[in-house]
Each structure stands twice: as structure tokens, then as C-alpha cells.
Amino acid sequence: MQALTYSRFGSADCLQLTELDAPHPRAGQVLVQVAAAGLNPIDVKTRAGKGFVAQQLGHRFRFVPGYDLAGTLLQGSDRLPAGAAVIGMVGFPLAAGACAQVCAVDPPALVAAPGNLPLAEAAGLPLAGLTAWQGLFQHGALQPGQRLLVLAGAGGVGHLAVQLGVWAGASVGATASAGNHPFLSRLGVSQCMDYRVPGHLAGAGQWDLILDLVGGNTGRDALPYLAPTGLMLTVPTITAAELTAAGEAQGKRVLGYTVQPNREHLQQLVALVEAGSLRLHISRRFPLDQAAEAHRLLESGHVNGKVILEMPLG
């Protein structure tokens, strides 16, 4: 089978298309013929040698990246028959493996794919959707009528988070470049703020829940606009500790969190997609042999929605 691999950290040029033997599933695992894999910031950061996964890989490795997949079951499980179209967040955080024609998966990670999306596009839903869902509802306990601010609202996680906030009855604001404001308005965002404008958060009031998808100075600059009883959730692990400390210094609550695979949460997201309450926006679809270009696009920081890598046929 063909798979995307790398054996050293560095720029996108270290990515290679490699011929590998198909995986041998462990007891209880199933094989999925992968149609597409979703690309996420963790893929780019790990390839660059940053973060927890890169630390665990060490210096001698051959890594098949990818945590999001959409594909077809090659063998049935107790819940899904052979041939079923499925999606899942797989191998998180250390095994990965979605960027290959075949992937061995633990069945609890898989759910039936949305029936109203092309299968390849559905690969963009799991990790980003779960990050948004768990932040807003599991950690943030978002309630109707509360004010939600999403930093980087047009990105992969952000564009799903703002829609989930609207669906939950919150008043939703988001930061993004001015060119993405019409996109966010169509998703139901009531206050769009251009992060490139100095003082862009001033005058928008205070927020009950801030979902920080950028970290660092961006998260720190938003802290004064967090309500006294509010909560900031920050996703980038690299700066979570410093933002937590900055929040404590200002008497504000800041919590870092990491997404976790969860079948029930993913099924909820699929149901919302099928009901038309959640729209997954795909920015670009790349064939696997153009993975380096896809990584460079995501690294540019100018992507609205998701980037997809499609597996070669056969």
C-alpha cells in the first residue's frame, strides 16, 4: 500500500510517499480502506518536531501521520458491517496512521459517516469537530444566552465551534481576517472582529466563554475581555501553561485541554451534519502525493475550514 511517511523532523519537504506492507490488525482491530485523511495543526507541528508526539518519537522512527480518516470497512465489527462507510479519529496520539491506503483501527473510534457528505470530505470532521464539541460542552458547559468568543473562528476547529455555539443558543463572536467575515456571518456569527486591527476586541463587551485556538499573545490579549466568572479554554498545548499563569495573575480562569476520541460525541456531530445544523467547509482537497503542498497551506495560517488528503485508488 502507499502511505505518507517521514523519518526526520523538518519542513514539509521531509514528507515522502512510501510503499509499505498493509498493516496487520491487532486482536479486536478492523481494517479500513481509507478514502481520505483530514489534515490538522497537530500533523504540521509534529512533522516540524514540536509538541508531545514529536518528543515521544525520538530520533529513529518512520512515522505514518494522520488522525482523521474516512473510508470503508474491509471487515465488519459488532456495530458496523463490512463495506460500511465510516469516519473516525484514530491512533491518537502516538499511533496515528490515517495517511495510508489501509489503516488498522480500534472499532470504538469509528462511526457511520454522514450520509449527506461526500465520503472524502467527511474526513475533515472528527478531530476538529470533537475539539469544538468537547471545549464548548464538556469543558465549557456552554448555556443558551451566554456570550461565546472564538479566536480564529474561520479555521478548521473554529468554523465548527461557532456553528455549535449558535446551535446551542449562545451569542457568538469570532476573530478572523476581514476577508473571512462574510464566511463567518453566513455561519451565524453576530460579531466579527479583524485580529489585525489594534484593539479589535475593545468595545465588544465581555465574554462568558472564550475558545482560544491560537495561544500565546493572542490568548493573553483576550484575557481582559473575559467576564469575571467566565472561562477561557486554550487548545495549543505549547502555550497553555503560560496562559493559565497569566489568567491566575488577573484573577481569570484559564484551562488548557486536549481533544479525546469519543464515539458518542462524534455521533452527535454526525447527527448535526445530517440535520443541516452543522456545515463542514472544505478549503482544499489534495491528492496524497501533494501532501507537502497541503502542509505548507495549513502552515500559512490562511485556511478557512479544513484541508483534505485523498488516498490513491487501489
Residue 221 pLDDT grade (very low, low, confident, very high; cuts 50, 70, 90):
very high
Torsion sign (Cα): 125, 128, 131, 135: negative
Residue 39 pLDDT grade (very low, low, confident, very high; cuts 50, 70, 90):
very high
Location of C-alpha cell 491506503 = 101
The pLDDT value given to residue 302: 86
pLDDT tens for 1-24 read 999 999 999 999 999 999 999 999
Strand 253-256 to 68-73 pairing: unpaired
pLDDT tens for 288-310 read 999 999 999 999 988 999 999 99
* Whole-number percent of the chain with pLDDT over 70: 100
pLDDT tens for 131-140 read 999 999 999 9
* Cross-strand bridge partners of residue 191: 173
- Ramachandran assignment for 145, one of left (phi > 0), alpha (psi -120 to 50 degrees), beta (any other): left
Residue 187 pLDDT grade (very low, low, confident, very high; cuts 50, 70, 90):
very high
H-helix or E-strand spanning residue 285: strand 282-287
Q: What is the pTM of this model?
A: 0.97
The pLDDT value given to residue 90: 98
User: What b-and-e string marks burial along 206-216, b requiring 16 or more CB atoms within 10 Å of the CB?
Assistant: ebbbbbbbbbe
Strand 207-212 to 110-112 pairing: unpaired
pLDDT tens for 117-131 read 999 999 999 999 999
Nearest to 294 by CA among 46, 84, 40, 110: 40
- Ramachandran assignment for 51, one of left (phi > 0), alpha (psi -120 to 50 degrees), beta (any other): left
The pLDDT value given to residue 78: 87
Residue 89 has pLDDT above 90, yes or no: yes
Mean pLDDT for 19-37 is: 96
The pLDDT value given to residue 295: 98
Location of C-alpha cell 508531545 = 52
The pLDDT value given to residue 99: 98
pLDDT tens for 141-159 read 999 999 999 999 999 999 9
Amino acid (one-letter) located at 87: I
In angstroms, the CA 262 to CA 256 distance is: 18
Residue 314 has pLDDT above 90, yes or no: no
Mean pLDDT for 50-59 is: 93
- List, in order of start, the domains of the chain with CATH numbers: 2-125+281-310 (3.90.180.10), 128-256 (3.40.50.720)
* Cross-strand bridge partners of residue 307: 39, 284
Mean pLDDT, the chain, whole residue set = 97
pLDDT tens for 223-234 read 999 999 999 999
Mean pLDDT for 190-200 is: 97
Of 32 and 75, the one with more pLDDT: 32
Mean pLDDT for 161-188 is: 98
Q: How many residues does the chain have?
A: 314
The pLDDT value given to residue 313: 86
